Copies of this chain bind each other. A is one copy, B any other.
Amino acid sequence: MGPGPSNPYPEVMEAFNRPVLGHLDPEFISLLDETNDRLREVWQTNNALTFPISATGSAGMETSFVNFITPGDDVVIGVNGVFGNRMCEVATRAGATVTRVEEDWGRTIDPQRLLDAHPNPSIIALVHAETSTGVRNDIAELGANKGDSLLLVDCVTSLAGIPVLIDEWNVDIAYSGTQKCLGVPPGLSPLTVSHRAMERLVETPQSWYLDLNMIKEYVSGDGARAYHHTAPISMLYALHAGLGVVLSEGLEQTLGRHQSCGDELHSRLPELGFELWAQEGYRLPELTTVSIPEGLDDVKSRQHLLDRYGIEIGGGLGPVAGKVWRIGCMGHTARMRNVTLLLGALEELTNAGH
Protein backbone atom coordinates (compact mmCIF):
# COMPACT_ATOMS: atom_id res chain seq x y z
CA MET A 1 0.00 0.00 0.00
CA GLY A 2 2.84 2.34 -0.86
CA PRO A 3 2.76 4.85 -3.70
CA GLY A 4 3.62 2.04 -6.14
CA PRO A 5 4.46 -0.60 -7.21
CA SER A 6 1.01 -1.94 -6.32
CA ASN A 7 0.24 -5.63 -6.09
CA PRO A 8 -0.16 -7.07 -9.59
CA TYR A 9 -3.36 -8.84 -10.61
CA PRO A 10 -3.05 -12.67 -10.45
CA GLU A 11 -3.70 -12.87 -14.21
CA VAL A 12 -0.66 -10.63 -14.71
CA MET A 13 1.58 -12.98 -12.76
CA GLU A 14 0.27 -15.89 -14.83
CA ALA A 15 1.04 -14.05 -18.05
CA PHE A 16 4.75 -14.08 -17.20
CA ASN A 17 4.64 -17.85 -17.83
CA ARG A 18 4.02 -17.35 -21.56
CA PRO A 19 6.89 -18.56 -23.75
CA VAL A 20 9.16 -15.72 -24.85
CA LEU A 21 8.55 -15.12 -28.57
CA GLY A 22 10.74 -13.02 -30.85
CA HIS A 23 9.86 -9.34 -31.20
CA LEU A 24 9.16 -9.84 -34.92
CA ASP A 25 7.15 -13.05 -34.52
CA PRO A 26 3.69 -12.46 -36.07
CA GLU A 27 2.04 -13.93 -33.00
CA PHE A 28 3.83 -11.46 -30.77
CA ILE A 29 3.02 -8.56 -33.08
CA SER A 30 -0.70 -9.31 -32.80
CA LEU A 31 -0.41 -9.40 -29.01
CA LEU A 32 1.31 -6.01 -29.15
CA ASP A 33 -1.43 -4.65 -31.41
CA GLU A 34 -4.09 -5.94 -29.03
CA THR A 35 -2.24 -4.37 -26.09
CA ASN A 36 -2.29 -1.03 -27.88
CA ASP A 37 -6.03 -1.40 -28.65
CA ARG A 38 -6.65 -2.08 -24.96
CA LEU A 39 -4.56 0.94 -24.02
CA ARG A 40 -6.71 3.12 -26.30
CA GLU A 41 -9.80 1.99 -24.37
CA VAL A 42 -8.24 2.78 -21.02
CA TRP A 43 -6.87 6.14 -22.22
CA GLN A 44 -10.28 6.79 -23.86
CA THR A 45 -8.62 7.87 -27.08
CA ASN A 46 -8.50 7.10 -30.78
CA ASN A 47 -4.87 8.21 -31.06
CA ALA A 48 -3.09 6.00 -33.61
CA LEU A 49 0.22 6.27 -31.75
CA THR A 50 -0.64 4.62 -28.45
CA PHE A 51 1.81 2.03 -27.08
CA PRO A 52 4.08 1.30 -24.11
CA ILE A 53 7.59 2.77 -24.01
CA SER A 54 10.16 0.05 -23.15
CA ALA A 55 11.16 1.51 -19.77
CA THR A 56 9.52 2.90 -16.64
CA GLY A 57 7.33 6.00 -16.22
CA SER A 58 10.19 8.49 -16.03
CA ALA A 59 11.31 7.34 -19.47
CA GLY A 60 7.76 8.05 -20.67
CA MET A 61 8.21 11.57 -19.31
CA GLU A 62 11.52 11.95 -21.14
CA THR A 63 10.00 10.61 -24.38
CA SER A 64 7.18 13.12 -24.09
CA PHE A 65 9.56 16.07 -23.90
CA VAL A 66 12.53 15.15 -26.13
CA ASN A 67 10.37 14.34 -29.14
CA PHE A 68 8.58 17.70 -29.12
CA ILE A 69 11.16 20.24 -28.00
CA THR A 70 13.58 22.16 -30.19
CA PRO A 71 16.23 24.00 -28.14
CA GLY A 72 14.91 27.39 -27.06
CA ASP A 73 11.23 26.38 -27.10
CA ASP A 74 9.13 27.89 -24.33
CA VAL A 75 7.50 25.37 -22.05
CA VAL A 76 5.12 26.10 -19.16
CA ILE A 77 5.15 23.53 -16.36
CA GLY A 78 3.02 23.31 -13.24
CA VAL A 79 4.98 22.39 -10.13
CA ASN A 80 3.29 21.26 -6.93
CA GLY A 81 5.31 18.18 -6.14
CA VAL A 82 8.27 15.98 -7.07
CA PHE A 83 7.03 15.01 -10.51
CA GLY A 84 6.23 18.52 -11.72
CA ASN A 85 9.73 19.40 -10.64
CA ARG A 86 11.14 16.40 -12.51
CA MET A 87 9.34 17.60 -15.65
CA CYS A 88 11.24 20.90 -15.40
CA GLU A 89 14.57 19.06 -15.19
CA VAL A 90 13.77 16.82 -18.14
CA ALA A 91 12.49 19.71 -20.30
CA THR A 92 15.53 21.82 -19.45
CA ARG A 93 17.89 19.02 -20.48
CA ALA A 94 16.03 18.87 -23.80
CA GLY A 95 16.88 22.55 -24.29
CA ALA A 96 13.55 24.13 -23.36
CA THR A 97 13.19 27.51 -21.71
CA VAL A 98 10.96 26.58 -18.80
CA THR A 99 8.40 28.81 -17.08
CA ARG A 100 7.58 27.22 -13.73
CA VAL A 101 4.13 27.80 -12.25
CA GLU A 102 4.53 26.88 -8.60
CA GLU A 103 1.91 25.98 -6.06
CA ASP A 104 2.29 24.83 -2.47
CA TRP A 105 2.78 21.09 -2.17
CA GLY A 106 -0.53 19.54 -1.17
CA ARG A 107 -2.59 22.14 -3.06
CA THR A 108 -3.93 21.94 -6.63
CA ILE A 109 -2.78 24.28 -9.42
CA ASP A 110 -5.34 26.72 -10.81
CA PRO A 111 -5.36 25.98 -14.58
CA GLN A 112 -5.82 29.69 -15.34
CA ARG A 113 -2.40 30.40 -13.83
CA LEU A 114 -0.82 28.00 -16.33
CA LEU A 115 -2.72 29.58 -19.22
CA ASP A 116 -1.65 33.07 -18.12
CA ALA A 117 2.00 32.20 -17.56
CA HIS A 118 3.18 32.65 -21.14
CA PRO A 119 1.46 34.07 -24.27
CA ASN A 120 2.28 31.19 -26.60
CA PRO A 121 4.35 28.34 -25.19
CA SER A 122 5.05 25.36 -27.40
CA ILE A 123 4.02 23.03 -24.57
CA ILE A 124 1.96 23.31 -21.38
CA ALA A 125 2.76 20.41 -19.07
CA LEU A 126 1.16 19.23 -15.88
CA VAL A 127 1.00 16.20 -13.59
CA HIS A 128 -2.56 14.87 -13.36
CA ALA A 129 -2.14 12.93 -10.12
CA GLU A 130 0.87 14.04 -8.05
CA THR A 131 2.29 10.87 -6.49
CA SER A 132 4.31 12.89 -4.01
CA THR A 133 1.31 14.74 -2.50
CA GLY A 134 -1.89 12.84 -3.35
CA VAL A 135 -3.34 15.88 -5.13
CA ARG A 136 -5.26 15.97 -8.44
CA ASN A 137 -4.58 18.77 -10.90
CA ASP A 138 -7.44 19.47 -13.30
CA ILE A 139 -6.78 19.06 -17.01
CA ALA A 140 -10.00 19.78 -18.93
CA GLU A 141 -9.80 23.58 -18.76
CA LEU A 142 -6.23 23.50 -20.10
CA GLY A 143 -7.29 21.41 -23.08
CA ALA A 144 -10.16 23.76 -23.85
CA ASN A 145 -8.01 26.90 -23.74
CA LYS A 146 -4.51 25.80 -24.75
CA GLY A 147 -4.56 27.64 -28.09
CA ASP A 148 -1.66 26.61 -30.29
CA SER A 149 0.26 24.92 -27.47
CA LEU A 150 0.57 21.18 -27.02
CA LEU A 151 -0.88 19.85 -23.77
CA LEU A 152 1.38 17.26 -22.09
CA VAL A 153 0.07 15.34 -19.07
CA ASP A 154 1.70 12.93 -16.61
CA CYS A 155 -0.87 10.22 -15.89
CA VAL A 156 1.43 7.81 -14.05
CA THR A 157 -0.78 7.56 -10.99
CA SER A 158 -4.11 8.50 -12.60
CA LEU A 159 -4.59 6.04 -15.48
CA ALA A 160 -7.19 3.40 -14.51
CA GLY A 161 -7.48 4.97 -11.04
CA ILE A 162 -9.48 8.14 -11.79
CA PRO A 163 -11.06 9.16 -15.11
CA VAL A 164 -8.51 10.07 -17.81
CA LEU A 165 -10.23 11.37 -20.96
CA ILE A 166 -7.48 12.01 -23.49
CA ASP A 167 -9.70 12.89 -26.45
CA GLU A 168 -12.47 14.72 -24.55
CA TRP A 169 -9.93 16.85 -22.69
CA ASN A 170 -7.84 17.58 -25.81
CA VAL A 171 -4.64 16.16 -24.35
CA ASP A 172 -1.84 15.93 -26.94
CA ILE A 173 0.80 13.84 -25.18
CA ALA A 174 0.32 11.66 -22.11
CA TYR A 175 2.30 8.92 -20.42
CA SER A 176 1.68 6.58 -17.53
CA GLY A 177 3.33 3.73 -15.64
CA THR A 178 2.31 0.10 -15.32
CA GLN A 179 2.96 -0.27 -11.59
CA LYS A 180 0.15 1.88 -10.22
CA CYS A 181 -3.57 1.54 -10.99
CA LEU A 182 -2.99 -0.85 -13.92
CA GLY A 183 -1.87 -3.53 -11.44
CA VAL A 184 1.20 -4.60 -13.43
CA PRO A 185 4.82 -4.63 -12.18
CA PRO A 186 6.98 -1.61 -13.05
CA GLY A 187 8.89 -1.66 -16.34
CA LEU A 188 6.79 -0.03 -19.07
CA SER A 189 5.35 3.41 -19.69
CA PRO A 190 2.13 3.57 -21.73
CA LEU A 191 2.21 6.60 -24.01
CA THR A 192 -0.37 8.24 -26.28
CA VAL A 193 0.19 11.03 -28.82
CA SER A 194 -2.45 13.02 -30.69
CA HIS A 195 -2.45 13.49 -34.45
CA ARG A 196 -1.83 17.20 -33.86
CA ALA A 197 1.28 16.45 -31.82
CA MET A 198 2.53 13.93 -34.39
CA GLU A 199 2.77 16.77 -36.89
CA ARG A 200 5.24 18.51 -34.58
CA LEU A 201 7.57 15.57 -33.96
CA VAL A 202 11.20 16.67 -33.78
CA GLU A 203 13.05 15.02 -36.68
CA THR A 204 16.11 13.85 -34.74
CA PRO A 205 15.52 13.97 -30.98
CA GLN A 206 18.55 13.82 -28.71
CA SER A 207 17.55 10.35 -27.54
CA TRP A 208 17.88 7.44 -29.96
CA TYR A 209 16.20 4.94 -27.63
CA LEU A 210 13.12 7.13 -27.21
CA ASP A 211 12.93 8.40 -30.82
CA LEU A 212 9.23 8.24 -31.77
CA ASN A 213 9.93 8.61 -35.50
CA MET A 214 11.75 5.29 -35.40
CA ILE A 215 9.67 3.52 -32.75
CA LYS A 216 6.40 4.17 -34.59
CA GLU A 217 7.65 2.09 -37.51
CA TYR A 218 7.78 -0.86 -35.14
CA VAL A 219 4.74 -0.39 -32.90
CA SER A 220 2.15 0.67 -35.43
CA GLY A 221 1.09 0.46 -39.02
CA ASP A 222 0.05 -2.36 -41.30
CA GLY A 223 2.33 -5.06 -42.61
CA ALA A 224 5.98 -5.59 -41.75
CA ARG A 225 7.39 -3.87 -38.68
CA ALA A 226 10.82 -2.27 -38.71
CA TYR A 227 13.13 -3.44 -35.92
CA HIS A 228 14.20 -0.60 -33.65
CA HIS A 229 15.10 -2.19 -30.32
CA THR A 230 14.22 -5.58 -28.85
CA ALA A 231 10.80 -5.28 -27.23
CA PRO A 232 10.57 -6.30 -23.54
CA ILE A 233 8.43 -9.34 -24.38
CA SER A 234 7.53 -10.65 -20.91
CA MET A 235 6.63 -7.24 -19.52
CA LEU A 236 4.38 -6.73 -22.55
CA TYR A 237 2.61 -10.02 -21.76
CA ALA A 238 2.08 -8.69 -18.25
CA LEU A 239 0.67 -5.37 -19.42
CA HIS A 240 -1.57 -7.11 -21.96
CA ALA A 241 -3.00 -9.23 -19.14
CA GLY A 242 -3.39 -6.31 -16.72
CA LEU A 243 -5.33 -4.32 -19.29
CA GLY A 244 -7.42 -7.42 -19.87
CA VAL A 245 -8.35 -7.52 -16.18
CA VAL A 246 -9.30 -3.84 -16.16
CA LEU A 247 -11.44 -4.13 -19.29
CA SER A 248 -13.09 -7.39 -18.21
CA GLU A 249 -14.06 -5.83 -14.91
CA GLY A 250 -15.06 -2.74 -16.90
CA LEU A 251 -13.18 0.55 -16.77
CA GLU A 252 -16.04 2.23 -14.89
CA GLN A 253 -16.07 -0.56 -12.32
CA THR A 254 -12.30 -0.43 -11.88
CA LEU A 255 -12.45 3.32 -11.32
CA GLY A 256 -15.36 2.78 -8.92
CA ARG A 257 -13.35 0.26 -6.90
CA HIS A 258 -10.46 2.73 -6.55
CA GLN A 259 -12.94 5.46 -5.56
CA SER A 260 -14.65 3.31 -2.89
CA CYS A 261 -11.35 2.37 -1.28
CA GLY A 262 -10.25 6.01 -1.27
CA ASP A 263 -13.58 7.19 0.15
CA GLU A 264 -13.34 4.68 2.98
CA LEU A 265 -9.78 5.72 3.82
CA HIS A 266 -10.65 9.41 3.66
CA SER A 267 -13.60 9.01 6.00
CA ARG A 268 -11.97 6.65 8.50
CA LEU A 269 -8.39 7.93 8.80
CA PRO A 270 -9.28 11.21 10.56
CA GLU A 271 -11.23 9.23 13.17
CA LEU A 272 -7.98 7.43 13.98
CA GLY A 273 -6.08 10.69 14.36
CA PHE A 274 -4.58 10.84 10.88
CA GLU A 275 -5.36 14.24 9.39
CA LEU A 276 -5.77 14.21 5.61
CA TRP A 277 -3.01 16.31 4.13
CA ALA A 278 -4.07 17.01 0.52
CA GLN A 279 -6.42 19.87 -0.38
CA GLU A 280 -10.09 18.98 0.05
CA GLY A 281 -11.88 18.44 -3.24
CA TYR A 282 -8.65 17.42 -4.97
CA ARG A 283 -7.77 14.29 -3.01
CA LEU A 284 -6.84 11.23 -5.03
CA PRO A 285 -8.75 8.09 -4.02
CA GLU A 286 -5.82 5.91 -5.15
CA LEU A 287 -3.19 7.80 -3.17
CA THR A 288 -4.03 9.22 0.23
CA THR A 289 -1.66 11.46 2.15
CA VAL A 290 -1.89 12.01 5.89
CA SER A 291 0.10 14.07 8.37
CA ILE A 292 2.10 11.85 10.70
CA PRO A 293 0.47 12.28 14.13
CA GLU A 294 2.64 13.59 16.96
CA GLY A 295 4.07 10.76 19.01
CA LEU A 296 4.53 8.41 16.06
CA ASP A 297 8.04 7.97 14.68
CA ASP A 298 8.05 8.03 10.85
CA VAL A 299 10.58 5.32 10.06
CA LYS A 300 9.92 3.04 13.04
CA SER A 301 6.18 3.07 12.49
CA ARG A 302 6.49 2.20 8.83
CA GLN A 303 8.96 -0.54 9.62
CA HIS A 304 6.50 -1.92 12.19
CA LEU A 305 3.69 -1.95 9.62
CA LEU A 306 5.95 -3.90 7.25
CA ASP A 307 7.23 -6.37 9.86
CA ARG A 308 4.03 -7.00 11.79
CA TYR A 309 1.36 -6.73 9.07
CA GLY A 310 3.26 -7.06 5.78
CA ILE A 311 2.05 -3.63 4.74
CA GLU A 312 4.31 -1.13 3.00
CA ILE A 313 3.25 2.52 3.04
CA GLY A 314 5.31 5.39 1.66
CA GLY A 315 7.15 8.16 3.47
CA GLY A 316 7.18 11.75 2.27
CA LEU A 317 9.54 12.90 -0.47
CA GLY A 318 11.71 16.03 -0.43
CA PRO A 319 10.36 18.91 1.67
CA VAL A 320 7.65 16.79 3.28
CA ALA A 321 9.89 13.86 4.28
CA GLY A 322 9.12 12.95 7.89
CA LYS A 323 5.88 14.97 7.81
CA VAL A 324 3.49 12.90 5.71
CA TRP A 325 2.74 9.32 4.81
CA ARG A 326 1.51 8.18 1.45
CA ILE A 327 -1.01 5.34 1.32
CA GLY A 328 -1.56 3.77 -2.07
CA CYS A 329 -4.64 1.78 -2.96
CA MET A 330 -4.11 0.90 -6.60
CA GLY A 331 -4.55 -1.98 -9.00
CA HIS A 332 -5.05 -5.33 -7.28
CA THR A 333 -4.29 -3.63 -3.95
CA ALA A 334 -7.46 -1.52 -4.29
CA ARG A 335 -9.65 -3.98 -2.38
CA MET A 336 -11.72 -3.12 0.66
CA ARG A 337 -10.10 -5.97 2.62
CA ASN A 338 -6.75 -4.19 2.35
CA VAL A 339 -8.31 -0.94 3.57
CA THR A 340 -9.77 -2.79 6.55
CA LEU A 341 -6.42 -4.38 7.39
CA LEU A 342 -4.55 -1.10 7.15
CA LEU A 343 -7.09 0.73 9.32
CA GLY A 344 -6.86 -2.04 11.92
CA ALA A 345 -3.08 -1.92 11.82
CA LEU A 346 -3.01 1.86 12.18
CA GLU A 347 -5.39 1.67 15.11
CA GLU A 348 -3.13 -0.81 16.89
CA LEU A 349 -0.10 1.27 16.01
CA THR A 350 -1.65 4.45 17.43
CA ASN A 351 -2.73 2.70 20.60
CA ALA A 352 0.74 1.26 21.06
CA GLY A 353 2.22 4.72 20.48
CA HIS A 354 5.06 3.60 18.18
Contacts and interface: CB of A to CB of B under 8 A. Distances in A.
Interface of A: 2, 4-5, 7-8, 13, 16-17, 19-23, 25, 54-59, 61-62, 86, 89-90, 93-94, 177, 179, 185-187, 204-209, 227-235, 238, 306, 312, 314, 317
A234 to B, nearest CB: 4
A232 B235 contact: yes
Contacts of A62: 207-209
Residue with the highest number of chain B CB atoms closer than 10 Å, among A185, A230, A317? A230
A35 to B, nearest CB: 15
Nearest to A211: B93
Contacts of A206: 93-94, 206-207
A204 B90 CA distance: 11
22 contacts: A4-B230, A5-B21, A5-B23, A5-B230, A7-B20, A13-B16, A21-B312, A22-B314, A55-B209, A57-B230, A58-B208, A62-B207, A93-B205, A93-B206, A177-B230, A179-B230, A187-B232, A206-B207, A227-B317, A232-B235, A234-B235, A235-B235
A206 to B, nearest CB: 5
Given A62-B207, A234-B185, A234-B235, A229 B57 contact: yes
B312 A89 contact: no
Contacts of A8: 20
Contact of A232 (B20, B56, B86, B233): B56
The 7 closest A-B pairs by CB, nearest first: A16-B16, A187-B232, A55-B55, A185-B234, A58-B229, A186-B230, A59-B209
A56 B229 contact: yes
A228 B16 CA distance: 26
A186 B25 contact: no
Contacts of A187: 54, 187, 232-235
A238 B234 contact: yes
A230 B235 CA distance: 15
Nearest to A17: B13
A208 B86 contact: yes
A297 B90 CA distance: 48
A228 to B, nearest CB: 8
Nearest to A232: B187
Given A17-B16, A208-B86, A56 B54 contact: yes
A22 B5 CA distance: 6
A185 B20 contact: yes
Contacts of A229: 56-59
Residue with the highest number of chain B CB atoms closer than 10 Å, among A19, A21, A25, A54? A54
Contacts of A306: 25
A77 to B, nearest CB: 14
A233 B16 contact: no
A258 B13 CA distance: 31
A187 B56 CA distance: 10
A314 B24 CA distance: 9
B186 A232 contact: yes
A39 to B, nearest CB: 18
A5 to B, nearest CB: 5
Contacts of A93: 204-208
A5 B312 contact: no
Contacts of A61: 208-209
